[in-house]
Structure 1
Amino acid sequence: MKSSETDITFLNRLNSRDHEAFKQLFREYFQDIAYYSSKILKDTDVAEDVAQDVFIRLWEKENHFENYLALKSYLYLSARNSCLNYIKHHNIVQEHAQNLVQEETDEQTWNTIVETEIISLLSDYIRHLPSECAKIMELVMQGYNSTEISTLTGASSSTVRSQKQRGISLLKKMVSPELYALLMLFLQQNN
C-alpha cells in the first residue's frame, strides 16, 4: 500500500466493499494501471478506458483478497487481459473493414451507380402513371412482391397483379426500348 494504512486493514475494508477503500485504491493505482495498459496498447486514451474498466469490474465483482500481492496481481492481470481482448477485437474490426473495402471494387461501384440512376429515371416515369398504378409500381421498384404489396395497400392480389401489368404496359409506351429492357431485367431480379 502506498499510504501508511496497513495492508491487512485496507484489504479488510476493500473485501467488505467499503466505498472509501475502493476510492483510495482507485486514486493510488489508476495511473499505474493506465500506464501499464498504454505500454501494451500504445494508445493512452484507450489505456485509460481499460484501466477504468478494470476498476469498474473490481467494484462490481465480489472479490476476496488474502494479501496485497493478490490484489495487485488481480489489477495487472485484469488490465493485461483487457488489453489483449481490445487488441483482438480491434484486429477483427480492422480485418472486417479491410475485407469490405476489398469487396467493393470499381466495377461494383459503377454498377450500383448505374442501377441507382436507372431506378431514379424509371421512378420519374412511374410518377406520371395513374395514381393507383403508380403507387403499386413504386412498391414493385422497391422490391416488394405482389403478396406484400397487397398487404401494404389493402388491394386484392388480383388488383395488384393487374395494376402491375398495366404499369408495365404503360411504361413500355413511355420509355425507350433500352430503358424498358432494363426495367424488365430489374423486375426479374426482384422476383
Structure 2
Amino acid sequence: MDENIGKENDLYRQIAAYFHTYFEGLHRYAFTILKDNDDAKDAVQAVFLKLWEKRAAIDEQQSVKSYLYTAIYHYCLNVKRHEKIKEQYITTNNHTAGEFRDPLVSKEAYRRIMGGIESLPPQCKLIFTKSRFEGKKYAEIAGEMGLSVKTVEAQVGKALKILRENLPDRMTVVFILLLLQP
C-alpha cells in the first residue's frame, strides 16, 4: 500500500514538473489557435487535467511533450468546431442568441430555462450563473469563492445535468446551443 502512495506521489511530482516546463509554450500555442488568453489558459488546464486522469497509463517511452501539444491542438480544434456549429445553427434557423421567430416561444423558453436555473441548489446556481451569465472563467470563480477549479467544474457539470433532466428535449438543445458558452 505504501508503494502505491509513493508511486502516486511520484506521478504527481512528474506531472507538476511537466506543467511548469510546458505551460508557457502550450499557452502560446493554444492562444495562436483560439485568439483568447482565457480560453488558451482553459485549454492548457483541460489538457493537464486529462493527463492527470490518465496518469496511470503514462508511458515513459512516449514523448509527453508531443502528447501535450497534440492534445492542445485537438482541444482547440474542438472549441473552434463548437463555435462554428453554434454559428451555423443560428444562421440556418435565422436565430440570434435567445431570440426566436415567435416571441411567445422565446418568452416561454426563457421562462422555463430561468425556472430551471432557479431550482438549482444555491451554490450550484451561483457558480453556474457566474460562469454562464457573467462570462467568468472557472479559475476566476474558484478564486472569488475560495474553491478549487475542480469543484467549480463539478458544480457546473451538476447544473447542466439537472437542467438537461428537467428541460424538454427541444428546450435542452436550444439552451445548450444558444445560451451556454463552452
Fold match, TM over 0.5?
no
Give the TM interval when normalised to the shorter protein: 0.3 to 0.5
Structure of higher CA gyration radius: 1
Q: TM-score, normalised by structure 1?
A: 0.43
